[in-house]
Each structure stands twice: as structure tokens, then as C-alpha cells.
């Protein structure tokens, strides 16, 4: 019954989305002539795989007419040609050929272009009723994204979804490897009550990678405010839980949900094991549970998981093996980034890859996890957790937040992560210093800006690739 409700809700939302946006399709035919010429010219762009099929179509028409002519021994064609000869002779007698010829040629070209434009507009309206973008632009963008680098992003929490929101505009070949150690909030309740892996971080990543379905994305984020058993749960978490029950495991549930949201890329759990985090604090306490670690308020000296050495998801290992670029973070250091690296097969797979690998450091320290940490302290924690150096560069925020934001964070005993250059260089890491921050003027909260962050990362990756080819 619950599953049927979920299906009907999704169908209703999709219908409303199409209905709401249907009015935009009338703009497909109201372009100015200059814009239309530009759109037609784009069909000649290389890489669309359109021109070859048009030429083959023309060849097919010619061969069909030739076959018909041979079959009927040319008698009707001879009569038609004779009629046309007579007609054209009469026409050129009335209107000179240097006028009638170009005039007929221009008319033919205009008819061809008009028919082409109307055909393309009709196809675009049928395929994308909620988008008034030209079909050729959609094809060009699709080709560009498909040719993007194969990027693997490892992490969890809001930091990972923020990064994915920017990366999806540069490549469709994105794989997000997400921690499944969450045991708090809606995810924790579903984990305890239904025995499923926590869907929260996965749901955020799916929403972030969704192509255009804004209303469906909002639906996945919707959190129930009332109702016995429903209050506090997000619709996306319930949907993934239902899909897991229907398909048999979380991996298949994610794949099915990706189709609903038209996701660019892939979201994969680091492992399908029921993993619980534990942390040893400097005062001797041992805390179990992801949500309890940050609430304990102590300095973390060691972190691990139960069961130890969980097996990695095979598809996650395959994605790492095929990757061109690997990004760690951003996100909570001990409860979002490092839990993925506690899966030994993932750590080993990343270590084997000789490609650009970068860690995106958080902008602010996090009380209960990274209080008073510098950038070098973040790096040391990752190296210690996985027993090796996995990345060769670190991205650090270059500008300090505003005074309002600093005061706001100081009240929670949080401060900008200090950039200790000398210690970072001694660790053998390259420093990528850039302004990738955005600040909410009302709340004073600072976050990574998805577009700025993705742009800086892709530029660094391009430079590394260029240097590699020169060497």
C-alpha cells in the first residue's frame, strides 16, 4: 500500500511538472530570424553524429528513386521530365533565367529550412515539454557532458552534495561514493526500525545530481511535519526505503531512483555492510555511533568501524579503477570523509591510481570533530586513518569570512581552518588556494559555492593533465 502511494505521488508530481511547464513550449516557434539561423548553423557542429545520417538519408532517397526508375523502365519519369522541360522553357521565356533560377533556388532553401525548423521544434517539444531550449543545444550539451572526465567523489553529508551540484555541469561521468555509517535523524530511525542502510546522504546526492526536475528534487527533500511515525522523515528517505524493499537491496534502489530523477552520473554506497563507527577520544572514552561521536565533545585520536574491514561495493571499485580524477570531501572529516576510507578495498583502489587526486578541506572547524584543527591536521587525520597518502593536493579557501560570520561561528566555538603552509609542504602536498566560498548574509553561515568549487577543481585537473602530457 505504501509503495503504491509512493508511485502515485511520483506520477502526480511528474504530471504537474509537465503541465506547469507546458506553456513554455510555445516559445519554440517565436525565435527571431537571426537566432533561428544560429540554431540551424549549430546542426553543422562536429560531434553531433547528425550530418552523416542526413547524408545517408539523402543517398537512400536517391537510390530508392533510381530503383523505382529501373523497375518501371523510366516511362513515367520520361513523361514527367518532358513536362518539366516544357514548363521551364515557358517560365524562362516569361522570366529570364538569371532571375527565375535564383528565385526558385532561394524558395527551395527557405522551404527546406522552414520544414527543418518545424520538425526539430516538434521533436524538442515532445522530448522536453518542460524546457524551451533548442534540441540542437540539448544535443551539444549532452555530447559535451558525456565527453567530460570520469570523476569519482568520495565523502558524504551536505558537503558532498554541494560539490556534486557544481560538477554535474562539467561532466556526466560522475560517481559519488557515499558513506553508510549515518545513524542519526530520519536515516537513523529507518535504519533501526526497518533494518535498511541509512539513505540520507544518498538521497542528498541523488537530488544534487538531478538534471532538471526541480519539483521532484524538492519532493525528495520534503520533510513531514506531522503524522504518527512520519514526523521528521524526509520523503526521499521513505522512497529509498520502499525502493530497497521492492528491489531487494540499496544498490538497485539507487539505480531505480536515478531514473526517476534523471540523474547525471551515479551514486554508490561505499559498502552494503551495516557499518557502525567508533572513535577513541584523548580522554580515554570510546564512543560508538556516528551521531554520538561529534556530540561527545572530545578530541578524536583514533577512529574505526564495526565490522572492521567491510567489503567494498564492486561497482565502486570499478568506478575508481576507471577514474580520471578523484576528489575527497568536502564534509565532516571523521563522520563523512574518513568512514569511506575505513573500507580497505576503496583505500587500496584509490592508492593504486596514478591520476590527479585532491582533498577539499572544510572552510570552518567543526566542534566535536575538528576543533582547533589546521589544514595539516585534516591531512594527518586522513593519512592516519587509511595508513597511506591518498591524495597529492589540497584545496583551501583563500579568503576569510566576514566579521559577521566570524562572530556567528565563534559563538559555537568554530573558526576558519588555519592554513599552515610549511607543514603541508612537508607532507608533500600541493596547495590549491582559491576563493570558493559563499556566505548567507542573513544567517552568517558560510558554505562552498557549487559553481566556484567545481570550476576551480576542473581547472586544476586540466593543468595537471597538461603537465602530465608535457612530461
Cell numbers placing 43: 546542426
Kindly give the residue spans of alpha helices, DSSP state H, lying in 210-353: 214-221, 235-247, 250-261, 290-296, 314-321, 338-341, 344-352
Mapped onto helix, strand or coil, the DSSP state of residue 438 is strand
pLDDT attached to residue 155 = 93
Cβ atoms within 10 Å, residue 243: 22
* DSSP result, 196-210: ----HHHHHHHHHHB
pLDDT attached to residue 100 = 77
Which residues contact residue 273 at a Cβ distance below 8 angstroms, ignoring those fewer than 6 apart? 180, 307, 310, 311
Polymer length of the chain: 471
Q: Measured between alpha carbons, how far is 148 from 133 in angstroms, rounded to an integer?
A: 21
Q: Given the C-alpha cell 567530460, which residue does it identify?
A: 148
Q: Measured between alpha carbons, how far is 319 from 254 in angstroms, rounded to an integer?
A: 16
pLDDT attached to residue 28 = 39
pLDDT attached to residue 226 = 76
Cell numbers placing 252: 538497485
Burial class from Cβ neighbours inside 10 Å (0-12, 13-18, 19+) for residue 298 reads middle
Q: Measured between alpha carbons, how far is 266 from 276 in angstroms, rounded to an integer?
A: 24
* 319-346 residues labelled b (16+ CB within 10 A) or e (exposed): bbeebbbbbbbbbbbbbbbbbbbbbebb
pLDDT attached to residue 257 = 86
Supply the pTM of this predicted model. Answer: 0.76
Q: Given the C-alpha cell 506553456, which residue does it identify?
A: 23
pLDDT attached to residue 81 = 74
Torsions phi, psi for 401 (to 5 deg): -65, 170
Cell numbers placing 16: 504537474
Nearest Cα to Cα of residue 325 among 463, 202, 211: 463
Residue 393 contacts residue 325 (beta carbons within 8 Å): no
H or E segment and range at residue 154: strand 151-155
User: Which residues sit opposite 276 in a β-bridge?
Assistant: 306
Q: Measured between alpha carbons, how far is 226 from 162 in angstroms, rounded to an integer?
A: 28
pLDDT attached to residue 26 = 42
Sign of the dihedral defined by the CA atoms of residues 286, 290, 296, 298, in that order: positive
pLDDT attached to residue 34 = 57
Which residues contact residue 256 at a Cβ distance below 8 angstroms, ignoring those fewer than 6 apart? 243, 246, 247
pLDDT attached to residue 390 = 94
Q: What is the pLDDT along the chain (471 residues), one digit of tens a residue?
A: 444 444 544 554 454 444 444 444 444 344 455 565 565 566 666 655 566 666 777 788 788 877 777 777 666 667 777 777 787 788 778 888 788 778 878 887 887 777 766 766 666 665 565 555 666 666 677 777 888 999 999 998 889 999 999 999 999 999 999 999 888 777 777 877 777 888 888 988 998 998 765 777 788 888 887 777 777 788 888 989 888 888 888 889 999 888 888 888 999 999 999 999 999 999 999 999 888 998 888 899 999 999 999 999 999 999 999 999 999 989 999 999 999 999 999 999 999 999 999 999 999 999 989 999 999 999 999 999 999 999 999 999 999 999 989 999 999 999 999 999 999 999 999 999 999 999 988 888 899 999 999 999 999 999 999 988 876
Residue 37 Cα distances to 29, 42, 114, angstroms: 13, 9, 11
Amino acid at each position: 500500500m505504501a509503495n503504491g502511494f509512493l508511485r502515485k505521488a511520483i506520477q502526480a508530481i511528474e504530471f504537474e511538472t509537465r503541465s506547469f511547464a507546458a506553456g513554455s513550449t510555445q516559445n519554440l516557434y517565436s525565435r527571431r530570424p537571426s537566432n533561428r539561423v544560429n540554431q540551424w548553423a549549430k546542426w553543422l557542429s562536429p560531434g553531433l553524429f547528425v550530418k552523416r545520417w542526413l547524408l545517408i538519408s539523402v543517398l537512400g532517397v536517391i537510390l530508392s528513386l533510381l530503383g523505382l526508375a529501373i523497375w518501371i523502365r523510366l516511362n513515367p519519369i520520361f513523361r514527367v521530365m518532358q513536362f518539366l522541360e516544357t514548363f521551364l522553357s515557358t517560365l524562362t521565356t516569361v522570366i529570364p533565367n538569371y532571375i527565375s533560377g535564383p528565385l526558385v533556388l532561394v524558395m527551395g532553401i527557405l522551404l527546406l529550412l522552414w520544414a527543418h525548423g518545424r520538425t526539430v521544434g516538434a521533436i524538442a517539444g515532445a522530448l522536453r515539454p518542460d524546457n524551451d531550449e533548442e534540441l540542437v543545444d540539448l544535443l551539444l550539451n549532452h555530447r559535451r557532458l558525456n565527453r567530460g572526465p570520469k570523476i569519482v567523489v568520495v565523502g558524504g553529508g551536505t558537503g558532498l552534495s554541494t560539490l556534486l551540484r557544481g560538477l554535474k555541469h562539467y561532466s556526466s561521468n560522475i560517481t559519488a561514493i557515499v558513506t553508510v555509517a549515518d545513524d542519526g535523524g530520519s536515516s537513523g530511525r529507518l535504519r533501526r526500525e526497518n533494518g535498511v542502510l541509512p539513505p540520507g546522504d544518498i538521497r542528498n546526492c541523488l537530488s544534487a545530481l538531478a538534471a532538471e526536475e526541480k519539483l521532484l528534487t524538492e519532493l525528495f527533500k520534503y520533510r513531514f511535519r506531522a503524522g504518527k511515525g512520519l514526523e521528521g522523515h524526509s520523503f526521499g528517505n521513505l522512497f529509498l526505503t520502499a525502493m530497497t524493499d521492492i528491489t531487494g537491496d540499496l544498490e538497485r534502489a539507487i539505480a531505480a531512483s536515478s531514473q526517476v530523477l534523471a540523474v547525471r552520473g551515479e551514486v554508490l554506497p561505499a559498502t552494503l555492510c551495516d557499518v557502525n563507527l567508533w572513535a577513541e577520544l584523548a580522554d580515554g572514552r570510546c564512543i560508538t555511533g556516528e551521531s554520538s561521536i561529534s556530540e561527545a565533545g572530545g578530541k578524536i585520536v583514533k577512529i574505526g568501524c564495526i565490522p572492521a574491514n567491510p567489503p567494498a561495493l564492486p561497482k565502486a571499485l570499478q568506478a575508481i579503477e576507471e577514474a580520471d580524477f578523484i576528489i575527497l570531501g568536502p564534509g565532516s572529516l571523521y563522520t563523512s570523509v574518513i568512514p569511506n576510507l575505513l573500507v580497505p578495498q576503496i583505500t587500496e583502489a584509490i592508492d593504486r591510481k596514478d591520476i590527479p587526486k585532491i582533498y577539499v578541506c572544510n572552510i570552518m572547524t567543526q566542534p566535536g570533530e575538528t576543533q582547533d584543527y589546521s589544514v595539516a591536521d585534516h591531512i594527518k587525520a586522513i593519512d592516519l586513518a587509511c595508513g597511506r597518502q591518498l591524495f597529492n593536493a589540497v584545496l583551501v579557501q583563500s579568503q576569510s569570512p566576514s566579521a559577521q560570520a566570524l562572530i556567528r561561528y565563534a559563538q559555537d566555538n568554530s573558526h576558519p581552518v588555519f592554513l599552515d603552509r610549511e607543514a603541508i609542504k612537508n607532507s608533500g602536498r600541493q596547495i590549491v588556494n582559491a576563493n570558493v566560498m559563499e556566505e548567507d548574509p542573513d544567517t552568517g553561515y558560510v558554505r562552498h559555492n557549487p559553481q566556484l568549487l567545481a570550476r576551480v577543481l576542473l581547472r586544476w585537473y586540466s593543468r595537471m593533465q597538461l603537465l602530465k602530457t608535457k612530461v
